[in-house]
Amino acid sequence: MEKVEFAKIRKKIGKTQKQLAALLGVSLKAIHSYEQGWRSIPSHIERQIFFLLTNKRRGTEKTKPCWERKNCDRKEECPAWEFQAGHLCWFLCGTLCDCCAERNCKDKLDVCRECEVLKSLI
């Protein structure tokens, strides 16, 4: 995640830098550093900010679950289906998407950033 995208998402969820720092469990200085590009944004922070954005928007719009968007034929075996979290498939490790199967969580998020499910958030 780049600094501009991080700041854009912070503004979309309607939080000040101080408020976001408290939500993410990091210092205000860390948020400043992410938005200025002085510090790279760790993958766990990236996942958390996408999670906050997803849940902020969830009440305002209905999104299609990943298994419908991708016409998945393995949905009953997938954690996204099991937990009815088709809008959070990018957040869950162990999903069965062909593009993400057997990847660790950091590598999976890199792939998911190109997927329409996660792209629809930004």
Neighbouring C-beta atoms of residue 60, cutoff 10 Å: 6
- The pLDDT value recorded for residue 58 is 58
- The pLDDT value recorded for residue 85 is 86
- The pLDDT value recorded for residue 28 is 96
Q: Which domains does the chain have, with CATH numbers?
A: 3-58 (1.10.260.40), 66-119 (no CATH)
Mutual angle of helices 3-12 and 43-58, in 10-degree steps: 30
Q: Measured between alpha carbons, how far is 88 from 33 in angstroms, rounded to an integer?
A: 27
49-77 confidence digits (pLDDT tens): 988 888 776 554 567 888 988 888 888 88
- The pLDDT value recorded for residue 62 is 65
In the numeric block, which tokens belong to residue 37? 């590009």
76-121 confidence digits (pLDDT tens): 888 888 888 888 888 888 888 866 666 677 777 788 888 888 887 7
- The pLDDT value recorded for residue 57 is 62
